Structure formats: structure tokens, C-alpha cells
Chains A and B, each alone.
Chain A
């Protein structure tokens, strides 16, 4: 694996920060298994906000279809890693 690409733990930490801002709730604890159903306000609207905030923060861009496939936080992290690796190449 490319050492320049962030590891899962780093991405998770930064994602947690993004989630705190979007949901205006510092108590949210993210784990890779968490899904939209586990976080009360994570609906289709906030989902867009998460996507856009992640795009801006990591400097990547998602395809429309990818935005829906995200089943849980772990999946989102994987996708961010893939995108970052693709950027590096």
C-alpha cells in the first residue's frame, strides 16, 4: 500500500470531525460498522451534506451512483482511500 495515503484510523478521525460539524453533535462516535440507521438525523438530506463535506475535505469527487452504495462508515472510508490512491497515481 502507498505510504502517502492516509490509513483507516486517520480517515475515521477526520470523518468524525466532519460528522460532528454536520450534525452539530459532538457526542457522535463513529465506528466502521455504523450505518445511516444508527445515527438519528442521517437522512438523504444530511447524506448529501456528508458527501459534499467529504469531497471538499479530501479533495475528491464521487460519482452519483457511488453516493448511494455507501452501506456504512467503513465502506465510506474504503471509498475515500480508493479515491485518494487514484489521485496519487
Chain B
């Protein structure tokens, strides 16, 4: 079931909410069990049989976790159990996500003989629920997991607002909330704040992100001789589509959690406003960054640093300024985690290149910090200050857009051709381009589309984001830095009621129930 479908909004959600608070008034355990049950129904809406896969994965990981907790004093046994658990999870995800892709690739290149291409239905959200649970197993071994009640664990994994596409949760931030009796008490404020965030997200998805679908597919489906303007329009349209689609989804997920009295970590914080790539990853898909930092980057970097310490080598700033130190302390862990982060999105060389590009960006960013000239953070003159900020944000965003072309394109060759088009290698526009994109035959539409793009960039670059608007009500577990004027604070006033009412009305009317979220594929 999709968040952006009428059956979800008008039927599933009201029933789930009413049942939850009705049972909660009586017994909070039953309310939690109800949430698990409706979450399984939610998941079964796509392919009923895959419910067994989800249930199997939960049972397997819960068992592994319980065994790891049991073996508390025996370090070696714990490590083996952890390895077993992680291998089991990885095998499942490799089978469903990568195995057939690789098989067909080998067959296509004549390395093995296949009578026909094979495929398998990929269970939705498999990357999300598998990684959530791998994190849980690591936490079991790390001694962070204190309680392991089966019902709470099931709720932690299946809770429908995050099941398909995140935010990626930590066990330790959810369990105390499930145990807290306050969670199960109905509060009007939660209803208001959750609904506000949900409709803002819905609007972002169905009105803004879906507007770009045709423009994006026009440009990316046929990259032969793509002229300059069309290529740039396609790339920028995709960039905005991706942002509004995924941040819209995240707003909806966080809003839904609030409706049930729960708080999720933030997932977006105006990423396109980042002034460097390191900052970008602190703002875009924040829970994935957090996951990768914690479970991939940190262990590798810690292992290297501890080893260097043991060998009597330095890990200080001076050590980084030697090429050898820079490579082993920064470049290696960065490439390792970013390439894996790329592949996490799916089988395909395009995702490897996407990861590689970001690893290169991040390494350059770090190298600049270590080797580059020391410039003051805030230049003294206001004009200079504004130009440096614009320059930094612009350069960062350009790098992001280039990587996004690989993220979207169907092959590396397509992406390269697309980028060539963006340099003007195939001409700028002209008749060929107009015939090529029928949507642009009418010059008024071109103008209108230009206004839409410009307007959205003003929103993306200057306006407060949805979490900042609702900051007063602490909508997320992680704090979002505030830099917006108080004028934009969302409050229970008539003006805001009218604005949000209009937003929901327009969003509801725009619902087609046909378009999936981009991140459902991952």
C-alpha cells in the first residue's frame, strides 16, 4: 500500500489509528500487537506471500540476537554468532537484489549460457529491513541492546511508516519509546503535528515530485544527441524530483510515526544548501549516512587508527598531511564505505560509479581541509561573504547533480552521453530538440516550466524546511539546526489552518495512486 493512495489515507490509516488508541486505553501491549498486525497487512498489500519472508527474516535475526545476548561472557562465540547472523542476512539480500542481475549480466556477455534472462520479484524494503536488523545484531554484541522482547522487536522492524524506505532506525532509540506508557496516550498535539507533516510530505510527493516524472523520463530514456538545454532540464528536474520525492516520503513517515505517539530521527535537512560535500551527507538521507558511518566507516577507520597507534605511528593532524597517512586514515575508509553505500542502492555499475564519485568528492574535500590554504570561515566583507557562500553551495550542488545523473541513468554509457549533452557537445537546442521533446513545442509551456524550476530553487535554497517549520513541537529525535526567521514557525493559527487545509486539498485532488516512491526500489 502506498502512502500516496486514497485507500491508505481514507481507509487503512484511520482504522489503524482508531484501533491503536482504542486498545491502548485498555492495554498498551495489545496496542503494540495491533500495530504489528496492521503493519503485516500493510506489507502484504503488495505480494502476500512475501509476508513470510519478512516474518522469517525477523525470526532469524531475533533468534541470532537472543543467542548473542546469551553468550555474553564468551567473546569468541559471540563473534561467530554475529558473523553467522550477518552472513544469513547478506545471503538473503544478495539473492533477491544482486544474484539474478549478475547472472543475466554474465549471460549477456556470453560468459555463461542462459536460455532466457531470469528474474525474481524483489521484496519491497528488503534493503531497509535487512540493514536495520544487521545493525541490531551488531548492537547486541556491542552490549547496547538491553531488552529483547519479541513483540517490541517485531514492532521495531515492521512498524509500517518506516518499513519500506526508512528512516533507518536504531534499536536503542525506539525501544525506550515502545516501553514508555506516554507513547500510548492519545494527544491532540500529536494528531495535529503528525497530520501537518504528513500533508506537507504528500504535497511534496504528488504535486511537486510527480510533476517532473515526464520531463525526467523524456531526457533520460533517450540520451542520443541530447542537446544542452534538454540535458540540463532533465538533470535539474531529476535532482528536484529526487529531493521532493524522498524528503516528501520521509516527512510522511515521520508524520505517521507522530500520529502513533512515536518520534523518528530526521532524514533530511535542506541538503542542497550544503556548502561542501561532507556537509551534504550530513543533510541528505541522514539516517543512511548515520548507518554507514556507524557500521562501516567507523569500524574500518577505528581499526586502522588503532593499528597505527599500536605500531607507534601518529594519527594526529600532522600524520594526515603525509600521503601515506592521508591514504590509510582518510581515503581508504571513505572509498570503502561509499562504494558499498553506492551498491546498497542496487545491482548496477551506475550505482558503483555514483559511490565512487562521492568517495572522490569527499576525499577531495578532506584533502582540501588538510592541505589547502587556511582561509577564515567567514570573510570580513559582506559582499565577499555572499559570493563565497554562493560559490561553495553552487560547486557542491554541481557535483551532486553530476553524480545524480549516474544514479538515474540506465547504464554508465547513457550517463556519460547525458553528461556530454550537458556540456553542449550535441548542440544547444533548435528544431531538432523541439521535435525530440514534444512537450516543448509550445513556447509558453517552456516559459512556465522555467518559472516552476526557478520557484522551486528559491524554496529549496532559501525557505525553511518542513522540520524547521514544526521545530517547536520537536518532530524528530535528532535536532535540526534552526536558521530561519521566527515568521515561518508553524503554529495553531487560522492562517496556518487555511494554508495546511489548502495544501491537503490540492494534494488529495492530485492523488492518482499510480506513482511509487523512488526509494521503494532500493
Interface presence of B74 (CB below 8 A): no
CB distance from B193 to the nearest CB of A (A): 23
Query: Could you name 15 residue pairs across A and B whose Cβ atoms are closer than 8 Å?
Result: A23-B317, A41-B369, A45-B330, A48-B301, A49-B305, A52-B302, A52-B306, A52-B309, A63-B142, A63-B143, A64-B298, A64-B299, A65-B172, A67-B302, A68-B294
A44→B293 contact, CB < 8 A: yes
CB distance from B73 to the nearest CB of A (A): 15
Interface presence of B149 (CB below 8 A): no
Cα–Cα, bound, A21→B318 (Å): 10
A56→B144 contact, CB < 8 A: no
CB distance from A43 to the nearest CB of B (A): 5
Instruction: Provide the residues of chain B in CB contact with A10, threshold 8 Å.
Output: none
Interface presence of B366 (CB below 8 A): yes
* Residue-wise interface mask of A (42-57) relative to B, using a CB-CB cutoff of 8 A (1 in contact, 0 not): 0111001101110110
Interface presence of A24 (CB below 8 A): yes
A22→B366 contact, CB < 8 A: no
Cα–Cα, bound, A41→B372 (Å): 14
Instruction: Provide the residues of chain B in CB contact with A67, threshold 8 Å.
Output: 294, 298, 302
A51→B302 contact, CB < 8 A: yes
Cα–Cα, bound, A64→B293 (Å): 10
Interface presence of A40 (CB below 8 A): yes
- For A51, give the chain B residue with the smallest CB separation: B302
Extra contacts, 5 of them, besides A52-B305, A65-B294 (Cβ < 8 A), are: A44-B278, A44-B293, A45-B330, A64-B142, A69-B172
- For A23, give the chain B residue with the smallest CB separation: B317
Interface presence of B109 (CB below 8 A): no
Partner of A22, one of B139, B172, B316: B316
With most chain B CB atoms within 10 A of its CB, the pick from A44, A53, A55, A69 is A44
A65→B315 contact, CB < 8 A: no
B299→A45 contact, CB < 8 A: no
The B contact surface, by secondary structure, is helix
B302→A64 contact, CB < 8 A: yes
Interface presence of B449 (CB below 8 A): no
A64→B278 contact, CB < 8 A: no
* Residue-wise interface mask of B (121-158) relative to A, using a CB-CB cutoff of 8 A (1 in contact, 0 not): 00000000000000000110011100000000000000
Interface presence of B344 (CB below 8 A): no
Cα–Cα, bound, A37→B282 (Å): 11
Cα–Cα, bound, A63→B294 (Å): 11
Q: Which residues does B use to contact A, with CB under 8 Å?
A: 138-139, 142-144, 172, 278, 282, 290, 293-295, 297-299, 301-302, 305-306, 309, 315-317, 330, 366, 369, 377, 481
Q: Which residues does A use to contact B, with CB under 8 Å?
A: 21-24, 37, 40-41, 43-45, 48-49, 51-53, 55-56, 63-69
- For B318, give the chain A residue with the smallest CB separation: A24
Instruction: Provide the residues of chain A in CB contact with B315, threshold 8 Å.
Output: 49, 52-53
Known: A44-B293, A44-B297, A64-B295. A22 touches B317 (CB 8 A): yes
B377→A37 contact, CB < 8 A: no
Partner of B138, one of A45, A51, A64: A64
- For A43, give the chain B residue with the smallest CB separation: B278
Instruction: Provide the residues of chain B in CB contact with A51, threshold 8 Å.
Output: 302
Instruction: Provide the residues of chain A in CB contact with B309, threshold 8 Å.
Output: 52, 56
Known: A37-B481, A41-B369, A45-B330. A64 touches B305 (CB 8 A): no
- For A61, give the chain B residue with the smallest CB separation: B306
CB distance from B174 to the nearest CB of A (A): 14
Instruction: Provide the residues of chain A in CB contact with B143, threshold 8 Å.
Output: 63, 65
With most chain A CB atoms within 10 A of its CB, the pick from B293, B377, B481 is B293
Instruction: Provide the residues of chain B in CB contact with A65, threshold 8 Å.
Output: 138-139, 142-144, 172, 294
Partner of B317, one of A24, A37, A43, A66: A24
Instruction: Provide the residues of chain B in CB contact with A56, threshold 8 Å.
Output: 309
- For B319, give the chain A residue with the smallest CB separation: A49
